[in-house]
Amino acid sequence: MALKYLMDENVDPAYSTQIRRKCPDLVIRTVGEIGTPSLSTLDPEILLWCEEYNFVLVTNNRKSMPVHLTDHIAQSHHVPGIFILNSNLSIGQNIEELIIIAQCSYAQEYQDQIIHLPMT
């Protein structure tokens, strides 16, 4: 699979648990786990981590993330992508979207973009 996901710390832990159960080949990490940014890390630093380790950020942050991404790109940085979960979908529906996207996407397809779920 081309994509790897970093779940923002404010995303329900059920996402990581269920995605790992349904799609064990998909690499998924959560902020606060060993080897990821620590809890309370500022969004600009999380974007730098995602860039360095080639992870798409999955978040609920609709308000400030576009500003952080614009600043990140303005500093000649890139990010593999940012997926914003849809609060009108169930956790299960958002998870299905994330799995389908990971299975059907190629590396760098969402570079420097914010994608609002659902895509299908």
Residues 55-111: pLDDT tens digits?
A: 999 999 888 899 999 999 999 999 999 999 999 999 999 999 999 999 999 888 999
CATH number of domain containing 69: 3.40.50
Give residue 120's pLDDT band: very low, low, confident or very high (50, 70, 90): low
Strands 114-116 and 27-30: unpaired
DSSP secondary structure of 50-77:
HHHHT-EEEE---SSHHHHHHHHHHTT-
Q: Name the domain count of the chain.
A: 1
- 9-26, pLDDT tens digit by residue? 999 999 999 999 999 999
- Residue 96, domain extent: 4-116
Q: In angstroms, rounded to a whole number, what is the distance separating the alpha carbons of residues 14 and 50?
A: 21
CA 43 to chain centre: 12
The pLDDT of 33-50, averaged and rounded, is 97
pTM listed for this prediction: 0.95
